[in-house]
Structure 1
């Protein structure tokens, strides 16, 4: 019986030497937009202010107002101290020029413009008033006049320094209170974020991010208001103290001149 040959197989097998095409690359998870997250979030400063909670807006407005108030005080004090020091140098040049004190008083005594001129005018006014009474120039009278003039100059110095230190407490309060006001806004913003999570039952970043951004922005506003106020308070306090020492030195030197003139007129 003849052998039957099997039919040739029509199935073709791939050549393993040929490269097998790979599947198309899968996009990374970060490049796939999640459903429900395609919301436009405005994280600009204006956007954070406009979309903030009402309480957070109030905190922001308070901090912005405090910051502007502090800067107004800083510029005002800086410019005034610069002007006073310049005018004090000019007056001291006239005072130590060797001219008669009565002539200098006639020039600035009617309308003193600066603290140094006011101290000089107050002392000279008392000097002239006391000498014009025509009383005997006894040692007791001279000692009393000397003490009275020194007391008048001391009061004038204290009054001028009190005027310069006006509103310095605002800078001190701003530096200490503003961070806590910003912290209150931060806590409130985080509470709003938690409420949004609970209401939407969704922990997506689009739900949490706006409230957290507003909270952190109030903290930044608090620091923006506090840091310049603290730095300016320390700087201006030192400048006022130096100017006060300048007034005290002038009053002591002027008191010594008056004492010497009283001795010469003995």
Structure 2
């Protein structure tokens, strides 16, 4: 009976020592640093995922509303005045950049030669291309961090695991005891680092693939609008001559 009680007590102590918090507290300082770094990276990954999801959803909604107004037949100058010098979303920024460049050259259209008209169209297209690139760079901010966490986090966690197992084997050799209750906590805390690495990496990889696809689709939408708007301005350029 006493042996059964003693065995139950040891099992309870082992279970307590294998709780997540206990595994963290018992870990080596290097393993703790790895765990903390991966947990912070995981928190930042989720913050980026939330920010990108909300930003892209808002950008697409505003782009759809702007396209509806643009194709409704509203006067381009009135739409440009509404956009002002501080566009509220990427598509409006592309539109404002093109209108700003086109208005600068509008006074010279009457006497412009064919070569000058071509140069005007090229400047307008370049202004839209540069603005599109700048807006996409702003939207793509922190995407490199997602890719880095997705690729590096498992290896960082594995480093913590290897370090923890080395320390566990050293402790086992010093104690000269290979009982499972002695071995298990050290091995478990080492594997815990790999688990945290996967917790950080898996959402980062999935989110990177999804958000990259959404960004590419939005970039194509901006480029398509820029091409259509460039054609409209090109026709208006020819009509003014």
Mark yes or no: TM-score above 0.5. yes
Q: TM-score, normalised by structure 1?
A: 0.84
Deviation at 1:137, TM superposition (A): 2.7
> Within 2, Cα distance between the matches of 1:95 and 1:197?
73
Of 86, 93, 96, the residue aligned with 1:121 is 96
CA positional deviation for 1:164: 1.3
Query: Whose Rg is larger?
Result: 1
TM-score (norm 2): 0.93
Distance change >3 Å, CA 96–CA 135, structure 1 → 2: closer
> 1:108: which partner in 2?
83
Structure 1 residues 227 and 152: alpha-carbon distance in aligned structure 2, compared to 1, 3 A threshold: same
Aligned to 2:25: 50
Match of 2:13 among 34, 37, 40: 40
Give the whole-Å Cα distance in 1 for the aligned partners of 2:204 and 2:11.
Answer: 42
Count the aligned residue pairs: 238
Report the secondary structure of 2:13's partner residue.
coil
Instruction: Look up the SS of the partner of 2:178 in the other structure.
Output: coil
The 5 Å alignment of 1:6-21 reads none
State how far apart, in whole Å, the 2-side matches of 1:87 and 1:39 are: 58
Matches within 5 A, 1:95-174: 95-132=70-107, 136-174=111-149
Higher RCO (Cα < 8 Å, 6 or more apart): 2
Deviations 1:210-231 (A, max 9, x none): 1111011111101000000000
- 2:231 aligns with 256
Give the match for residue 188 of structure 2: 213
* More helix by percentage: 2
Contact 1:190 1:211 in 2 (8 A): yes
Structure 1 residue ranges without an equivalent (≥5):
1-26
Write out the 4+ residue segments of structure 1 that deviate beyond 4 Å after TM superposition. 31-34, 36-39
Q: CA RMSD in A?
A: 2.0
